[in-house]
Chains A and B, each alone.
Chain A
Amino acid sequence: DGGITQSPKYLFRKEGQNVTLSCEQNLNHDAMYWYRQDPGQGLRLIYYSHIVNDFQKGDIAEGYSVSREKKESFPLTVTSAQKNPTAFYLCASSIVGGAGQPQHFGDGTRLSIL
């Protein structure tokens, strides 16, 4: 079955610690995205990538970093510079181009501060 796998489901971060959230897809999609969702709010774009070795900042990139070394993988690092990291993080992928394509989402990672 094709899909997007995010891990871990739950993650706890200590003060001053960097943590990395994993996102892997086997849909052969070129585009991948990271979103942050806070309670009662919609999705806010952190980073996105349309091709391997290239990515762009979204609306709330400060305190986060990404890499795109393989088409299938788009890990997100939440750095110690992100002072309010507690949120639900969603990874998504889509086909690039055409008349617009829907995004497919992983099941998310819930990050909390210890």
Chain B
Amino acid sequence: EDKVVQSPLSLVVHEGDTVTLNCSYEVTNFRSLLWYKQEKKAPTFLFMLTSSGIEKKSGRLSSILDKKELFSILNITATQTGDSAVYLCAVDGLGNFNKFYFGSGTKLNVKP
């Protein structure tokens, strides 16, 4: 059975801390792994990873994929209260078509 598992389920940190969110997967016909940030409503796209070992970076956020060990991490440095959200990991895994498997998310709370 295809699945995506995220850890931890929730996390409380203080501003300025660095956090690492984990995503492991077992999905046949892997095509890509995506990270999204969800605040109140629609998830917003952060990164898409297709190749192992290549770090994607955007400001204080970065992510990397390990296709041998089947996991990805999302790092956030110097966290701010605006980083508080649910972070979702999804894997695109159905051959020529895009069927996405989502993890349950990590709820990050950054306190002042």
Contacts and interface: CB of A to CB of B under 8 A. Distances in A.
Nearest to B92: A100
Interface residues of B, number: 26
Given A42-B102, A44-B102, A100-B31, A108 B41 contact: yes
B12 interface: no
Interface string A63-97: 00000000000000000000000000010001011
Contact of A99 (B4, B44, B50, B88): B50
A10 to B, nearest CB: 12
Q: Give the size range of A's interface with the partner.
A: 20 to 34
Contacts of A53: none
B98 A108 contact: no
B62 to A, nearest CB: 17
B98 A40 contact: no
Across the A-B interface, give the 5 residue pairs with the lowest CB-CB distance, nearest first: A100-B32, A105-B42, A100-B31, A42-B104, A43-B102
A43 B104 CA distance: 7
Given A31-B98, A96-B97, A100-B32, A40 B104 contact: yes
